[in-house]
Structure 1
Amino acid sequence: MINNSKLIYLLSFMLLITISCEDDAGVDCDAAKTTFTAAVNAVGDDGPADEAECQGVVDAAGVFLDTGCDTAGTDVGMYNTFNCGCVTLASAFEEAGNAFAAGMQSGTGTVEDCQAYVDAMVALVDAGCMSAADLGLDQAQYDEYTSGTFCTDLYDAGISTPSTFNFDSRFVDGVSSVSYNGQVVRNLLINDIKGQFKGGNGAKVLSMMANDDATATIITTAGGSTVQTFYHDISTSHLNDRLEAVSSYVIPGWDVNAGTLLGNWATELGTLDMDATTNAQGLRLDQLAQKTLWGAVAYWQGTSKYMSKIPNDDNTMQDDGDPYTAMEHHWDESFGYFGAARDYNTGYTDDNDRKSDPYHDTNGDGSIDFKTEYNIGWAVTAAKRDLVDGVSIDYDFTKTIFDAYLEGRTLIVNEAPLEEIIVQRDIILNTWEKVVAAVTIHYVNDVAADMAALYPADATAGPSSELSADLNNHWGEMRGYANGLLYNDFKVISDADLNTVLTTMGTAPVYPEAGEDAFYTYHGLLLTTVKNTLQAAYDFSDEHMANW
């Protein structure tokens, strides 16, 4: 952002310096005078090209004076005392000035261009080659340009990228511009609903979906005291309207949208035994419900909804009187759905810490604030998938995503060109999608391992077999997370390939009781069709495909 008043001053005094060592004297003299005249003429009207050429004229002038020749009209005395170092300094000043002027005219100039020009000016003056007055500046103006802050002020360089997701308002002093309470409470509801999605608990599940109970306590724990006790301490936002927003997305296999599917599963809880989570087909309804919600609500909102708004958002004025612009707020709402604590990069030892101990009392008040000091949902999933052994490439999903959120938000604060902001947005969109794909692959591997162990143990096992418990659990997570890939409108995987993945997985696990051929055919399709399709879409390494 250019400070026009300073620009006008600077351009007014930009001088392209040419130091001329020419001499128009054509007086015929002895050999020394001839040599001197030839040296001057060789330099020409543009002045010496470098110090060596200048020194040649100076040396010739010295010889000419030493001869005692008549020097009238030659300015030989001026040449004899000239500082040829000024030639180099003047050349550098001219070059820096041209670069700076070109950048200003094209709109591509940088603080570095400006500073190079100022530094060249200072060098020229300090060497005694020119004065501030020679540059057309009074001392006050010269002092301003060389103060050390002129260039950053000129370009209004803005804030530096912080290490935590904290940004002050540009409009209200002392107030944060970051706000995403609705996102926090929805993440908590999704996180907690899994433990309530069991037989005899349908009414509780529907109430959580609606977040309609002001006395409902937050189930998620943080190892001790928390700032918030009830969901409504954070927000009354709920999940039902978010599911309505994705009603046009049909989930292959069930061929209904997520809202209908979740409603059907909640109703089915009334047919299960008390506290049961698995239905007659082997579906772990709690896993399917929660993982589908992570995709249909948090992932869709964080990618397709809010990040799609960025190109058309205003970023110059307060949004309805709030301490942020529309662009800032939409970026922050996306970040809220990712679920990272504000100090995701710096408050945790490593990814295992982010996963296993996902909270950090950043401000030291003795309580965990779910709004700012807790990792949840996709932020934890990203950390889990970064924790993989036997690989030579580190995708570092956690740092890649968080750094892009920080950098993009900083660019927004500094009102950087939209294309620069979009670069960071796309890093988030693509990397987050890879996290969804990676966790899907992880559970494909788990399901395949469960199946490989199940048939030899019990060739007649079905959904209700105790030996099928791991398969039921992992299959629910696999299919639930895979559903999430539907909800990124910027997704890399094609619709056709995603449909292949989801239809191949089907709508229920396959058990030994289906027969050996059917059982192992399904097992093989998971390891070939499903995994190969996902690997081709995301270019994951063979090591990751095997070890996730």
Structure 2
Amino acid sequence: MTMKKTLLASAILTAMLTACGGGSSSDSTPTPSNSAPTDIALSNASVDENATAATIGQLSATDADAGDTFTFSSSDARVAIDGTTLSLAEGVKLNFEDTASIDVEVSVADSAGNSFSKTLTISVNDLLDTYAFPSRFGDGSSVSYGGQTTRHVLIAELNHYIGNQLQNDVETGVLTTKDAVIAKLTSFYAMTAEEYDLVADDFAVQFLDGTRQTVLRDLSSSHKDLSGKIAGNDATGQHKDWNGSDFAGWGATGSTTPENLVYTLFDMLGDNAQAYLDGGIRQDINGNAITSIYLTEDGRDLKQLIQKFLLMSVAYSQGADDYLDYDLDGKGLNSDNVSNKDDKGYTALEHTYDEGFGYFGAARDYLDYSDDELAQKGGRDDWQGMHDTNGDGVIDLNSEYNFGQSTNAAKRDRGATVATDMTAAAMNAFLQGRQIITDADGALTTEQMDALKAQVTIALENWEMAIVATVVHYINDTNADLAKLAAADEDFSYSDLAKHWSEMKGFALGLQFNPKAPLTDAQFEQLHSLIGDMPVMSGDIAAYQADLMTARQLLADAYEIASDNAANW
């Protein structure tokens, strides 16, 4: 019995020691509990309006557990979180005039899965975002660029006529000779002051319905045409002799002029019309009948080629090499900023700068549009390239419509693999430059002039980059069309090839008009040697495709284009 009691006591003692953590060589420490985060902070709680996908600030969490790790998230589609960085989501920008702040719920989870949520208020910084500047000489606006809008409209009307009315006029006997066709085309391009006065009240705006300006006179009371402003014809201050031996890119350098090229293209259209009048049947590379009067048998789309070349040789040339240049005293950015010019409520410098902006073609509230809306590929239904901002029921072509390169900048921004924002960069620079002129309230100091030149440089660099990106885009399209042609692909479209090649060529011809372009003269001539004056559609198509890829790389190197963008634009 004594032995049994001893064994029992020993067993009880062992059990007690084990329960108390004794009697074992291992030290079992209780796992401490993990506390949930108790707060979320944001290093910066504001964002500039109209800044797409802008970084807002860095997120951090308060937690009692030292060294814990955190994962931040938000279900708000307006924002994106990468690690601890809070940004606006891709394609998202905010407008102060729509909302001064937004509330965003952000959640944080620690390593144990404990979470905390908090609503963060992000204020929207009100910036200069509309091209509107008061007159210093009285009530009203100092902004005026009716002549530039008029020329944009003339280019649009010529393009509209070639694409929608010319063929009908030939087929129905309105135009019965090649000379009559050329005369009709010329009526959009060149007119004397006397001719302008005769037609301005009856020259209807037809390229767009529902416009405030219904005839040419509504756009400009005085004589305006395209011929007077094409490179070479308004030669004062231009950096090359375009009507001499300097124009390049079509045939041998110096073999033609910008204006003569326009008339050459008109002549080609006249030949196509005459072929129809003579009962001829023109054929494409595959032997199919060409039914569009503006398509040539050698792969050119004259409607596109004429429009794009005029946008470059008139609008871009005037903007880059005249109004926004500063190589001559009393001209461009060196214009007077003291006197009330002709008592019109603006200075010569204000007006000159506005004219440069007018050739860019942007609506005055350009930054309120998304890239999708500018490209007419999505967004709000009533913002598709234009918007009735003042609510008067019509579109004011001077302020509510986006012309030319302003829309191409958005198309390339939305198509970029590596994000670009040429639209905002160009417009913000135009706005900041104009504000410098307004704030000077007289002659600019050296510091103000340097700041103005810096903004103009940014605006022109992004304007030109939009052009270059568009050339790259059409190089890629043309290359894809040629691949289908070479493979006898049933999806090959002759009209697509002609369109894409002609847009590529028309825009590429304009890269010589900016005196400060990064492309050298030798590179420009090499570019056009590779592109040629028409697409190669037979024989060694592959060699021509290789030339196009070389041309693309030349542009990518000169303009420092990301390789993914060059390949995918």
TM-score of the aligned structures, taking structure 2 as reference length: 0.63
Partner of 1:519: 541
Q: Which letter maps to 2:461?
A: N
Partner of 1:352: 372
Partner of 2:249: 252
State the secondary structure of the residue aligned to 2:510: helix
1:484 to 510, 531, 534: 510
Q: Any idea what the Cα deviations from partners look like across 1:51-87, whole Å, max 9, x if unmatched? A: xxxxxxxxxxxxxxxxxxxxxxxxxxxxxxxxxxxxx
2:235 aligned with 1:238? no
State the secondary structure of the residue aligned to 1:451: helix
Gap regions ≥5 residues in structure 2? 1-125, 171-180, 235-241, 277-291, 326-330, 377-383
2:423 to 398, 406, 410: 398
Q: Which letter maps to 2:479?
A: A
Partner of 2:15: none
Q: Any idea what the Cα deviations from partners look like across 1:232-257, whole Å, max 9, x if unmatched? A: 21024110111223535513233311
**CA–CA distance in 2 between the matches of 1:337 and 1:373?**
14
Partner of 2:99: none
8 Å Cα contact 1:161/1:410 also seen in 2: no
2:228 aligned with 1:228? no
Partner of 1:268: 268
**CA–CA distance in 2 between the matches of 1:161 and 1:322?**
28
Partner of 1:547: 568
Mark the CA change 1:168 to 1:262 in structure 2 (over 3 Å): closer, same or farther. same
Identity of aligned pairs, percent? 36
- In the TM superposition, residue 384 of structure 1 has moved relative to its aligned partner by 1.0
8 Å Cα contact 2:306/2:506 also seen in 1: yes
8 Å Cα contact 2:481/2:492 also seen in 1: no
2:183 to 203, 206, 211: 203
**CA–CA distance in 1 between the matches of 2:332 and 2:304?**
33
Partner of 1:378: 405
Partner of 1:475: 501
8 Å Cα contact 1:381/1:435 also seen in 2: yes
1:163 to 99, 115, 129: 129
**CA–CA distance in 2 between the matches of 1:250 and 1:372?**
33
TM-score of the aligned structures, taking structure 1 as reference length: 0.65
8 Å Cα contact 1:239/1:297 also seen in 2: yes
**CA–CA distance in 1 between the matches of 2:470 and 2:362?**
17
State the secondary structure of the residue aligned to 2:396: coil
Partner of 1:412: 437
8 Å Cα contact 2:323/2:333 also seen in 1: no
Partner of 1:316: 338
**CA–CA distance in 2 between the matches of 1:242 and 1:313?**
19
2:483 aligned with 1:452? yes
Partner of 1:533: 554
**CA–CA distance in 2 between the matches of 1:530 and 1:466?**
23
Q: Any idea what the Cα deviations from partners look like across 1:170-189, whole Å, max 9, x if unmatched? A: 112x1210000010010111
State the secondary structure of the residue aligned to 1:414: helix
Q: Which letter maps to 1:228?
A: Q
**CA–CA distance in 2 between the matches of 1:509 and 1:458?**
18
Q: Any idea what the Cα deviations from partners look like across 1:416-466, whole Å, max 9, x if unmatched? A: 61111111011011111111111000000000000111111179xxxxx98
Partner of 1:46: none
Q: Which letter maps to 2:563?
A: D
Q: Any idea what the Cα deviations from partners look like across 1:209-230, whole Å, max 9, x if unmatched? A: 12643212112215xx221111
2:360 aligned with 1:338? yes
State the secondary structure of the residue aligned to 2:156: helix
**CA–CA distance in 1 between the matches of 2:537 and 2:454?**
46
- In the TM superposition, residue 394 of structure 1 has moved relative to its aligned partner by 2.1
**CA–CA distance in 2 between the matches of 1:345 and 1:285?**
33
**CA–CA distance in 2 between the matches of 1:444 and 1:540?**
14
Mark the CA change 1:467 to 1:363 in structure 2 (over 3 Å): closer, same or farther. closer
State the secondary structure of the residue aligned to 1:402: helix
Q: Which letter maps to 1:427?
A: I
- In the TM superposition, residue 195 of structure 1 has moved relative to its aligned partner by 3.0
**CA–CA distance in 2 between the matches of 1:477 and 1:268?**
17
Partner of 2:522: 496
8 Å Cα contact 1:443/1:475 also seen in 2: yes
8 Å Cα contact 2:485/2:492 also seen in 1: no
- In the TM superposition, residue 262 of structure 1 has moved relative to its aligned partner by 0.7
Q: Which letter maps to 1:240?
A: S
8 Å Cα contact 2:304/2:499 also seen in 1: yes
8 Å Cα contact 1:161/1:407 also seen in 2: no
2:470 to 439, 443, 458: 439
Q: Which letter maps to 2:317?
A: W
**CA–CA distance in 1 between the matches of 2:477 and 2:312?**
20
8 Å Cα contact 1:196/1:204 also seen in 2: no
Mark the CA change 1:374 to 1:467 in structure 2 (over 3 Å): closer, same or farther. closer
8 Å Cα contact 1:161/1:406 also seen in 2: no
State the secondary structure of the residue aligned to 2:567: helix
Q: Which letter maps to 2:407?
A: V
8 Å Cα contact 1:328/1:409 also seen in 2: yes
Q: Structure 2 matches for 1:53-132, cutoff 5 A?
A: none
Mark the CA change 1:318 to 1:445 in structure 2 (over 3 Å): closer, same or farther. same
Gap regions ≥5 residues in structure 1? 1-159, 460-464
Q: Report the structure, 1 or 2, having the larger helix content.
A: 1
**CA–CA distance in 2 between the matches of 1:467 and 1:167?**
48
